[in-house]
Structure 1
């Protein structure tokens, strides 16, 4: 049987993608196969009605193959599937820092491999993701349409040049963690001011939810929305002044730059492992 989608690496992001496809009716469970070394992860996908396997080459029976493995494992995975990969397969990778060229080269044999690189983020788990797509040298418009269909049930999808993907990884791929970090510390501040854990958590979560809705629901810039809350001589101004004095804005910019640098480093490390034949998986 030929499947529509074969998943190599059945992690949480792959699970979010599959749940979105099934919920939207874009694919049926019997049209997807998932492989993973973890029996626990296979069980999660089996519960969704999918065929599962511990053999990655089984997932290559699908028209589109989704590589959902950690960047440091990509070399080993490509080496394992390359001999069995058919030239008519579309390959979509969500591994941070791994270029389409590296995947093309890893599949080898001088084939004109059709590869699309994607960077999703974890809000896909709740249908609020954003995904950037970059096409490799041999990917077609039809391939991009297919890739969009994988992610659109749970995300806004945009196409970008591949040289922007490390920046996108840093801004939106890792981005949810920055918001969670801020929320963590807002809750801590509330507790220190006398609120209970439940009160602080509910207040901050609802505030974050409302602020996010305002960001996406209006054409106003974040700076303008902040200005409207910040009355001269008021409480918000006092808080923002401390943030600015402590260099919070600069820290955010530097943190995102560090994430982009790490994405580039992951790509270089993967290329070096391929060049030396070394694998760090396991």
Structure 2
């Protein structure tokens, strides 16, 4: 259908052709092909030292999946078959969210959140594993927590390790926005020499809906990806992924138009298009063929079921573009 329509349009004047071309729908790519067990929320993926892809996601003790080719995914249990006792303080259901997996210093780390929906009574935990596989994780306790009376929320953690060896953890959801703290590489916990909670993105007017930060450094800039607007509403979700960049990990981050991310800034990377509704809960992974944007979306042709999305990222022109 697309080839036939394109052939017919070749005979039209250029100005008329441009006026007829679709804009918003065609601006974003469809996710790459994945198969198998791909019903996920807040996916985080890494390529293990043996070449296997390990993917963890929200719920079920942090659901684990593996793939040998980044296409076919199989369930392989959970990070935590038995919940640590401290989870109950923050979640009556013992339900952890938003894992962040990485490989550091010869072992695997996982930061994750424990909370209940709509509450800022939350905590970020840390677990370690020698293999990264389901059921092998040892919980190391709480890294950072917030209470119901606070103005920010300790969920959606993401570890960023800078080229100078400093560790940073970004996190946050709604309220006063996204935050960052410095970590001690020796412990994976907050660095005693810097207890500052840095503010890196916020929506001070209108909706407070911003969450799920992830930070990477490319071409001399630090890039902050975040999820904006409403998650977790199936086909009614308005989630979208935006980005800004900075010259320091703690900001300030500005979008492509120069708007500070502390003041509602953010350049769109991926939004709803066609059946792919509400993309968000993203992480960025470096692989052999380039950087990957890993996220979930709600399938408009499958009753809004949340599914895994994976796209490559281009950095041409100094800003990320999904393709």
Scaled by the length of structure 1, the TM-score of the pair is 0.25
Bigger helix share:
1
User: Using CA pairs below 8 Å that are at least 6 residues apart, which structure has the higher relative contact order?
Assistant: 1
- Point out the structure with the larger strand share: 2
Normalised by the size of structure 2, how large is the TM-score? 0.23
